[in-house]
């Protein structure tokens, strides 16, 4: 018989389970799973790609090697600028997971005691979006805003035409 949960026995965090579920959903539907990560000293990522203590990582199987979505850490190897890097992200530092193609996903509170004085309680009690993160805007684009919730500057265009680069299969 299951013992009823008391306030002291809430169980483990649901965050790693939700991350795995949304990663599976993205993969099953042919979407590219991205995670937005709050970066501090406990996160092992290429710091040259970190902006405003955040980094967005492609955690699709095509972009990673040896991906482990554990209960405490997300670990994998990936190439950044052609250089293989070992990535280690504490699960509680994942602030969102979403599909690149349509922005559908889920946001999580920033870690308690995060830099800048933002805590989970303070951020959620105001009713404002955490760190300006919006996963599904009206035009279905995922955007990350600045501290006051204003949208961030648009990303730099990729390539001379501004279109996303594509791969062409040559036989």
For a pLDDT cut of 90, what percent of the chain falls above it? 56
100-112 tens-digit pLDDT: 999 999 999 988 7
Q: What is the pTM (predicted TM-score) of this model?
A: 0.64
Q: Spell out the long-range contacts of 60-67 with Cβ–Cβ below 8 A and sequence spacing 24 or more.
A: 60/26, 60/27, 60/32, 60/33, 61/27, 63/32
Q: Provide the edge-to-edge strand list for the sheet that holds 33-38.
A: 54-58, 33-38, 94-99, 105-107
**CA dihedral of 69, 73, 79, 83, whole degrees rounded to 10:** -150
* Closest among 79, 78, 59, 84 to 69, alpha carbons compared: 59
């Amino acid at each position: 018989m299951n013992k009823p949960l008391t306030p002291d026995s809430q169980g483990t965090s649901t965050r790693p389970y939700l991350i795995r579920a949304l990663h599976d959903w993205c993969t099953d539907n042919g979407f590219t799973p991205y995670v937005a990560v709050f970066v501090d000293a406990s996160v092992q990522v290429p710091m040259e790609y970190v902006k405003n203590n955040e980094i967005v990582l492609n955690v699709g199987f095509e972009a990673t090697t040896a991906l482990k979505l554990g209960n405490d850490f997300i670990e994998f190897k990936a190439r950044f600028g052609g250089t293989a890097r070992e990535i280690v992200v504490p699960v509680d530092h994942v602030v969102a997971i979403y599909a690149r193609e349509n922005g559908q996903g889920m946001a999580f509170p920033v870690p308690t005691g995060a830099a800048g004085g933002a805590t989970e309680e303070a951020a959620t009690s105001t009713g404002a979006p955490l760190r300006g993160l919006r996963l599904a805007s009206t035009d279905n684009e995922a955007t990350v805003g600045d501290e006051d919730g204003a949208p961030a500057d648009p990303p730099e265009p990729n390539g001379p035409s501004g279109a996303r680069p594509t791969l062409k299969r040559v036989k």
